[in-house]
A and B are shown apart, each in its own frame.
Chain A
Amino acid sequence: DTGVSQDPRHKITKRGQNVTFRCDPISEHNRLYWYRQTLGQGPEFLTYFQNEAQLEKSRLLSDRFSAERPKGSFSTLEIQRTEQGDSAMYLCASSPPDGSYNEQFFGPGTRLTVL
């Protein structure tokens, strides 16, 4: 049984660099979510995909952030021109199309540190 996977698990970058994270949801889960979690806080919603369509974006998702899910399977989250305030854990979650209450299954997260 394969859960949600994320790659890389850790990323250290210098301010101004671009970074890209990947999320592989549980197979047959058509819903995919990205959240960001800063130290001492709960996760905050960033964006939501249903199949390949990005249906919702938080205003937390500035122009420097872009997410894709080109074939409705894996998703990527890119941050351009990183800033120190982008340092956080980026969590991906997926849920099935026919769940009775749509529990979201989370991946292990990608911890980003911007120096």
Chain B
Amino acid sequence: AQKITQTQPGMFVQEKEAVTLDCTYDTSDQSYGLFWYKQPSSGEMIFLIYQGSYDEQNATEGRYSLNFQKARKSANLVISASQLGDSAMYFCAMREGGPQGFQKLVFGTGTRLLVSP
């Protein structure tokens, strides 16, 4: 069964506007972690933001925030004030189990974001 679902293959946004990238997940674990990574055309995966399943507050890192709705099993990424350099593939990923355990990440299929001037 697919564990991470990203339903938006591509998204367009104008510079300086906000954009939301969707991610839903499926797990029976009580303890898990959710990550967002950015992959520019150069290929490397750049960590953006993390949300733990027990975290009560939504995670924020600069212009990135994670809208975590546990009951709906969703972990959407919000990018505020988009910049041209934000154009890239964005992947949602889940780690099952606690942070001290085995660390396999399961990734979604990604969303390609294009920021226009």
Contact = CB atoms under 8 A, between A and B. Distances in A.
B42 interface: yes
Interface residues of A, number: 28
Contacts of B52: 101
A48 B107 CA distance: 16
B19 interface: no
Given A40-B109, A41-B109, A48 B103 contact: yes
Contacts of B103: 31, 33, 48, 95, 102, 104
B104 interface: yes
Contact of B110 (A31, A42, A104): A42
B102 A42 contact: no
A108 B43 CA distance: 6
Interface residues of B, number: 26
A111 B105 CA distance: 20
Given A102-B95, A103-B47, A108 B42 contact: yes
B65 to A, nearest CB: 17
27 contacts: A33-B105, A40-B109, A42-B4, A42-B93, A43-B107, A48-B102, A48-B103, A48-B104, A89-B43, A91-B45, A93-B45, A95-B103, A99-B99, A100-B99, A101-B33, A102-B33, A102-B100, A103-B35, A103-B47, A103-B50, A104-B47, A106-B37, A106-B46, A107-B44, A109-B43, A109-B44, A111-B43
